[in-house]
Structure 1
Amino acid sequence: MKKILTLHLFILTVCVLSSCSHAEKTQHIEVFVTETSEQNAEGFSETTGYKKVNSITNIEESTNDIKTDIKAVEDYYDTERNYIRTEIIHSNYNKSYNTKAEDGDDLKKVIHKPSTILIPDKNIEHFKLDDMTKEEKEKVKEHVLNLMDMVEN
């Protein structure tokens, strides 16, 4: 009986240790502008304006699962560059490679005050702030995280 118990304990230990794999963590801090579009009556995509975005994307991936966490501030404008609204978004998603189970959550708060930073008001078509300095990344990160309080409370 003791040998069977020891064997079960060994198997359980191996299973637990094999499920504890190293996770690769990545963080992207981005500042960019992209067009917004909607499908028109004919079924074609039509540009409706653009949005300015400050975002933090965290990805944690192991051999067993992937977890993503996105925090973003998006200022929406029409095609005439008139401000419409700001969306503060917190989205997370988890997927198990073993069980194929998926879950996620999206929180959003709409405010009416432009809230993105480091994006000019002129000549913004396809703007993307590449090669951000460490200071710029920290500034964007702090700014986005401060606005998340509005969504999560």
Structure 2
Amino acid sequence: MRKPIAGLAPLALFLAALLVLSACGSGTKHVEHVEVFIVETLEQNEAGFYEAIGFKKVNAVTTIEEGKNHVKTDTKTIEDYYDTAGRHMKTEIVHSSLHKSHVTLAEDKDHRTATLEEPAAILLPDGESGPFKMNKMTEAEKTKVRAHVQSFIDQL
């Protein structure tokens, strides 16, 4: 009769470990922002003032995970840069991530970029120089932007 009870010990240990692990994850918040916008770009002149040098069209996907003991951020963007006359100058693909522990204060960062010669941002009006933000995106539009941005990030 002792063998069946002894056989339950590993199962009980597994269940106890599972409960502890699930308790550690409680209270974790996950937030995702999918954005499509146009913003003016500025540069500091010799006098120290910032002046408009153009604008950029951006597709961005930002995820944030925040728990009691850590925060993780992941930002993926396509940024099409234009001069004040509306001529495309360059496109930057950027992937930045940060994982910070509130316990050990350790930070793990990663930042990768690539430059393209052709515009790549989607769902933005032609001829628009900003400011513009696509509000109330549908789930289909968000899915399209997520997949589009990820396809460029995968090539970094």
Instruction: Return the TM-score normalized by structure 1.
Output: 0.83
- In the other structure, the counterpart of 2:84 is 79
- Give the conservation status (yes or no) of the 8 Å contact 2:40–2:129: no
The structure number with the bigger radius of gyration is 2
2:35 to 30, 34, 51: 30
| Amino acid in the other structure paired with 1:92 | S
Q: Aligned pair in 2 of structure 1 residues 101, 18: CA closer, same or farther (>3 Å)?
A: farther
The runs of 4+ residues in structure 1 deviating greater than 3 Å are 16-19
Gaps of 5+ in 2: 1-16
2:25 to 10, 21, 24: 21
Bigger mean CA deviation after superposition, 35-44 or 106-115: 35-44
How far apart are 1:20 and its partner, in Å? 2.1
Residue-pair matches, total:
137
Residues of 2 paired with 1:18 and 1:150: CA distance? 35
Q: Does 1:43 align with 2:43?
A: no
Gaps of 5+ in 1: 1-12
- In the other structure, the counterpart of 2:71 is 66
- In the other structure, the counterpart of 1:107 is 112
Q: Aligned pair in 2 of structure 1 residues 19, 114: CA closer, same or farther (>3 Å)?
A: same
- Give the conservation status (yes or no) of the 8 Å contact 1:19–1:64: no
> C-alpha offsets along residues 92-125 of structure 1, whole Å, 9 cap, x if unaligned?
0111112222221100000101000000112342
- Give the conservation status (yes or no) of the 8 Å contact 2:55–2:129: no
- In the other structure, the counterpart of 2:140 is 135
| Amino acid in the other structure paired with 2:146 | K
How far apart are 1:80 and its partner, in Å? 0.9
Helix, strand or coil at the partner of 2:123: coil
Instruction: Return the TM-score normalized by structure 2.
Output: 0.82
- In the other structure, the counterpart of 2:98 is 93
